[in-house]
């Protein structure tokens, strides 16, 4: 098609705006980051300084946790009274003899309906017992983590009809499709076990997923108080079930439940941070490219913003979080305080340089700003002032790296997590 010069000149200002303006709801321009002051994790709600670890543990930690519950993620219910575990398969010679594979189901009732979270566990065959372990949710079913034909094929609803899924169900073609994100053999060779589960077993990841998830069946909170749907969120539901998996791991003598490192990527990184903050049994928490509503500071409004995430993924956060869309300064907390809730337990925040949507710099600044709480415990955080160069891990009790490449989980990321776990688990 030929465009006359006259039409082209009329369209030009419009085309220029399209080329230069940020798409609605996010910003990629550091110069447009608003001025802000971060809330101080070491000042109580009443404005009193928090200067001892006992003040932190007794008062301030709970205050911050409540803020996240009320303003962002919502509540989590307590441990169900009738929680059962069923071993559904055992293989002493999995992965060509390198691993022991267990598949277990965590079973509980919600409003009379049975719920099951299916957990795949690999343990190093020749390692000393009990083994320390990484745990993390997968996006596409346990069978996607490795091509091992012995892994049960998930029967749950799948979000995307890709990677072998058809009509929102897994098929055999989806086996092993996420294996590049799960270097099972490397993890085992380093002496760690791996436990993974599909987050969709708890609640399908879409705005109406609660109808088929535990939020519509589980009606009381931690203190036995009534729990309405809008009081919690999909992220709270998913994070709560991670704690139920730990309930199982604590019963398994092959596993060192005092050395559990919780890992999560992207939305599942947000979920891991909330789980690690809520449940101190996670000895290490790892956030991989978790971005907005995860490790990145909300007040920077860089990359994905609170407004954008609330619009696209309303079910992830509670109802109250919606009032902070475009109004981040009114938040009683910011995400550095979520990281601080891990203190004094080690925590790792990882970014990828091309993953601007997740605001790598905002993730770093958040990790750094959690440092004073670790300082209270005499522990060093990221240990640097500026975001480190690409592929240069830093930090002591707060680990951080920005990797080359985009939004993903790579062998490089795992290498850092294994090194970090070795260091903190004294291996």
Catalytic positions: 266, 407
Of 264 and 399, CB closest to ligand GCU? 264
Of 103 and 305, CB closest to ligand GCU? 305
Residue 315, interface with ligand GCU (CB under 6 A)? no
Choosing from 124, 291, 371, 399, the residue that interacts with ligand GCU (CB under 6 A) is: 291
* Cα 272 to Cα 342: distance, rounded to the nearest angstrom: 11
CB of 421 to ligand GCU, least distance (A): 23
Of 56 and 199, CB closest to ligand GCU? 199
Choosing from 119, 131, 292, 331, the residue that interacts with ligand GCU (CB under 6 A) is: 292
Of 286 and 292, CB closest to ligand GCU? 292
CB of 315 to ligand GCU, least distance (A): 12
The whole-angstrom distance between residue 220's C-alpha and the CA centroid of its chain comes to 24
* Location of structure tokens 């985009």: 406
Residue 165, interface with ligand GCU (CB under 6 A)? no
* Location of structure tokens 């072998």: 164
Would you give the binding string for ligand GCU spanning residues 327-366, x where CB under 6 A is met?
------------------------------x---------
* Cα 35 to Cα 412: distance, rounded to the nearest angstrom: 34
* Cα 276 to Cα 283: distance, rounded to the nearest angstrom: 8
Please work out the total of residues on this chain that contact ligand GCU, with binding judged by CB under 6 A: 7
Choosing from 309, 338, 365, 418, the residue that interacts with ligand GCU (CB under 6 A) is: 309
Q: Which two tokens stand for residue 220?
A: 């009381």
CB of 323 to ligand GCU, least distance (A): 19
Residue 175, interface with ligand GCU (CB under 6 A)? no
Residue 286 phi/psi, 5° resolution?
-125, 125
CB of 350 to ligand GCU, least distance (A): 13
Question: Would you state the torsion angle of the CA atoms of residues 293, 298, 303, 307, taken in this order, to the nearest 10 degrees?
Answer: 80
Residues 76/240, Cβ–Cβ less than 8 Å? yes
Residue 227, interface with ligand GCU (CB under 6 A)? no
Residue 214, interface with ligand GCU (CB under 6 A)? no
DSSP 371-427: HHHHHHTT---S--SSPPPTT--B-SSEEEEEESSSSS--HHHHHHHHHHHHHHTT-
Would you give the binding string for ligand GCU spanning residues 229-268, x where CB under 6 A is met?
-------------------------------------xx-
Q: Which two tokens stand for residue 242?
A: 């991670």
Using DSSP's 3-state secondary structure scheme, residue 242 falls into helix
Residue 181, interface with ligand GCU (CB under 6 A)? no
* Cα 281 to Cα 276: distance, rounded to the nearest angstrom: 8
CB of 411 to ligand GCU, least distance (A): 19
CB of 290 to ligand GCU, least distance (A): 6
C-alpha pair distances (Å), 46 with each of 49, 251, 375 = 9, 41, 22
Q: How many helices (H) and strands (E) does the chain have?
A: 11, 11
Of 227 and 262, CB closest to ligand GCU? 262
Question: Would you state the torsion angle of the CA atoms of residues 265, 266, 268, 273, taken in this order, to the nearest 10 degrees?
Answer: 90
Binding site for ligand GCU (CB under 6 A): 266-267, 291-292, 304, 309, 357
């Amino acid at each position: 098609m030929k465009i006359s010069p006259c039409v082209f000149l009329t369209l030009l200002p419009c085309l220029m705006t399209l080329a230069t303006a940020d798409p609605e709801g996010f910003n990629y321009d550091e110069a447009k980051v608003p001025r802000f002051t971060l809330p101080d994790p070491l000042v109580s709600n009443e404005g009193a300084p928090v200067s001892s670890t006992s003040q932190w543990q007794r008062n301030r930690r709970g205050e911050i946790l409540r803020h996240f519950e009320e303003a962002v993620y919502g509540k989590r219910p307590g441990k169900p009274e009738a929680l059962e575990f069923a071993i559904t398969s055992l293989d002493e010679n999995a992965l060509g003899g390198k691993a022991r594979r267990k598949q277990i189901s965590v079973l509980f009732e919600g409003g009379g309906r049975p719920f099951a979270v299916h957990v795949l566990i690999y343990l190093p065959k020749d390692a000393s017992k009990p083994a320390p372990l990484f745990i993390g949710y997968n996006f596409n079913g346990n069978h996607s983590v490795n091509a091992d034909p012995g892994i049960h094929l998930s029967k749950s609803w799948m979000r995307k009809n890709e990677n072998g899924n058809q009509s929102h169900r897994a098929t055999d073609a989806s086996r092993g499709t996420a294996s590049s994100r799960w270097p099972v053999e490397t993890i085992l060779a380093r002496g760690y076990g791996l436990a993974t589960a599909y987050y969709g077993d708890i609640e399908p990841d879409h705005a109406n997923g609660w109808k088929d998830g535990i939020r519509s069946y589980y009606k009381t909170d931690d203190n036995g108080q009534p729990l309405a749907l809008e009081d919690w969120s999909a992220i709270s539901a998913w994070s709560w079930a991670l704690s139920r998996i730990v309930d199982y791991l604590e019963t398994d003598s092959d596993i060192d439940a005092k050395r559990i490192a919780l890992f999560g990527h992207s939305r599942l990184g947000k979920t891991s941070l909330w789980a690690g903050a809520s449940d101190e049994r996670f000895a290490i928490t790892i956030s991989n490219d978790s971005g907005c509503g995860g490790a990145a500071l909300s007040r920077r409004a860089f990359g994905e913003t609170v407004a954008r995430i609330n619009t696209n993924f309303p079910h992830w956060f509670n109802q109250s979080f919606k009032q902070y869309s475009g109004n981040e300064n009114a938040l009683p907390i910011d995400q550095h305080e979520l990281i601080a809730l891990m203190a004094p337990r080690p925590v790792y925040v990882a970014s990828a340089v091309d993953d601007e949507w997740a605001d790598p710099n905002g993730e770093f600044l958040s990790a750094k700003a959690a440092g004073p709480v670790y300082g209270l415990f005499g522990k060093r955080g990221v240990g640097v002032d500026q975001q480190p160069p690409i592929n240069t891990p830093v930090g002591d009790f707060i680990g951080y790296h920005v990797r080359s490449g985009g939004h993903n989980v790579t062998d490089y990321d795992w290498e850092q997590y294994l090194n970090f776990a070795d260091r903190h688990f004294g291996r």
